Amino acid sequence: MSNYDVIILGGGPAGLTAGIYLSRAKQSVLILDQGMVGGQVILTHAVANYPGLPELSGYKLASEMKKQAEEFGCVIKGNEKLISFDLKGKKKIVTTKSGEYSSRAVIIAVGGQPRKLGLESETKFQGLGISYCATCDGDFFTGEDIVVVGGGNSALEEAVSLTKFAKTVTVIHQFDHFQAYAHAIKEAENNSKISFIMESDIVEFTGDQSLTGVNIQNKKDGVITKLGATGAFIFIGYVPGTELFKECVSLSDRKEILTNEDMATDVPGVFAAGDVRQKKFRQITTAVSDGTIAALGVMDYLNGPDPDKI
Amino acid sequence: MTLDTNLKHVETGDALTELINSKENVMVCCGRMGPMCVPVYGAMEELEKSGDYDGVQFADMLFDIPEAAIIRDLPECASFRGLPFTIYYKNGKVAKATTSIQSKDQITAILSEIV
């Protein structure tokens, strides 16, 4: 078993920032990420509002954060599948597919993942008509009829963006109103290529080798209608990656980790930072802030008279 | 033009043909520096670094260069509508092709099956 002062679960902006602060404070730090280190920010084509930096890609920003953390001494392991945890005691134990690690404190910063509809046919047609990235795959649908699922800012902004390629864009939303900002709604409503189907859910994606249509159920009368579409872009928000931690720390009813203002959970020595915790705003800068506070909270905990009493 | 990765870059159709004819197992990820592609390059870099697949040549190719038609126009990719296009070659022939983002586990499963 390898021992560290602190193990950080998640290598996005929150986890990397915490790693930078802790390793600068001469703590031995291990950062484990189940996917590629960088978190959701690597899925962003352009970050234009990170203070002090000109517009750059999310991948570049995450790479710089990772490099900085490594230079200060963090050990960083990506694609490390988490298997189990024992976080209750003074000695925290994390087991992954490739090994067992222990530490005196843990920061959970695993972020979230794009929410999926959860239909079997959704998996079947991923990459064959279904996409979660308009800027990546929009040009595959030039001159075609497509649908966008969702009613928030991402859905409406991407629907407008997709009209550069598609012949028509039908926005399908489960409610009778949108959750997006007024300007995003107005821009979508004013676009002649966009139409709307409200209070409806997609219940099935259809096609053979690739997507050719969707079955849409009206939530009021239950009637199912078929709509031809060769593309479906899904933007229905994010889910926190807390499934693995539900037995370890307290979660909100939205499955987000509950913390105090120092990012401490209800388990001594276990902290949470970034999109995984209950909060209102989720930005790169707020994740960085969370990571900083969590690191300082961990230092307080480790330097306290008796960590178990905090 | 090449991608900003640590993988071997393939820039021409001839180079790809030579590569797949000289190596028994070749995995080529054809994409952009985009959200769905970058995680695949990352997984490939880790697999290459791990040494567990020394018999596999990992490489990438920029999707938008004309020479990438050698991948874009493969019959196995005819129905693909999402980046990246990832092709697994064995003895110069396409053994498997996938579209869109793939996890390290998914890639490992395919490599284990093919290699």
Same domain, yes or no, for A133 and A276? no
Residue A257 shares a structural domain with residue A124: no
For residue A165, what pLDDT band results from cuts at 50, 70 and 90? very high
* Per-residue confidence (pLDDT) for residue A310, from 0 to 100: 41
| Distance separating alpha carbons of residues A87 and A268, to the nearest angstrom | 9
Q: What is the mean pLDDT of residues A28-33?
A: 97
The last residue of one of the domains, among A212, A234, A256, is: A234
Q: Is the pLDDT of residue B88 over 60?
A: yes
Per-residue pLDDT tens for A108-155?
999 988 889 999 999 999 999 999 988 889 999 999 999 999 999 889
Listed in sequence order, the residues at least 6 apart from A248 whose beta carbon sits closer than 8 Å to its beta carbon are: A85, A87, A88, A267, A270
Range of the domain at A194: 116-234
Same structural domain, A135 and A102: no
Domain end (from A215, A234, A253): A234
Q: Do A168 and A75 fall into the same domain? A: no
- The question of whether A74 is a catalytic residue gets the answer no
- In the structure, what pLDDT confidence band is assigned to residue A64 with cuts at 50, 70 and 90? very high
Residues A123 and A96 in one domain: no
When divided into structural domains, chain A yields a total of 2
pLDDT band at A309 (very low <50, low <70, confident <90, very high): very low
A38 three-state secondary structure: coil
A203: part of which helix (H) or strand (E)? strand A200-207
Q: Does domain B8-114 have CATH number 3.40.30.10?
A: yes
Please report how the helices A13-24 and A284-303 are oriented relative to each other, as an axis angle in degrees rounded to 10. Answer: 40
Tell me, what's the pLDDT at A81? Answer: 86
C-alpha to C-alpha distance for B48 and A79, rounded to whole angstroms: 13
Q: What CATH number did the domain enclosing A50 receive?
A: 3.50.50.60
Q: How far is B67 from chain A (nearest CA, A)?
A: 18
Mutate to test the interface with B, among A32, A33, A36 (most CBs of B within 10 A): A36
Residues B76-102 have a mean pLDDT of 97
Residue A82 sits in the same domain as residue A24: yes
Does A262 share its domain with A225? no
A109 and A245 share one domain: yes
Active site residue: A5, A74, A86, A133, which one? Answer: A133
Mean pLDDT across A209-233: 97
**Is it the case that residue A45 has pLDDT exceeding 80?**
no
- What b-and-e string marks burial along A281-300, b requiring 16 or more CB atoms within 10 Å of the CB? ebebebbbbbbbbbbbbbbe
Phi, psi angles (nearest 5°) of residue A41:
-65, -25
Contact A133 B36 (CB under 8 A): yes
A210 to chain B nearest CA, in Å? 6
Q: A interface toward B at CB cutoff 8 Å? A: 35-37, 42-45, 57-59, 78-79, 81, 126-133, 135-137, 140-141, 209-211, 230-231
Interchain contact, A133 vs B79, CB within 8 Å? no
Examine the fold and report which residue of A234, A249, A275 is the final residue of a domain before the chain moves on: A234
Which residues is A102 bridged to in the sheet?
A3, A93
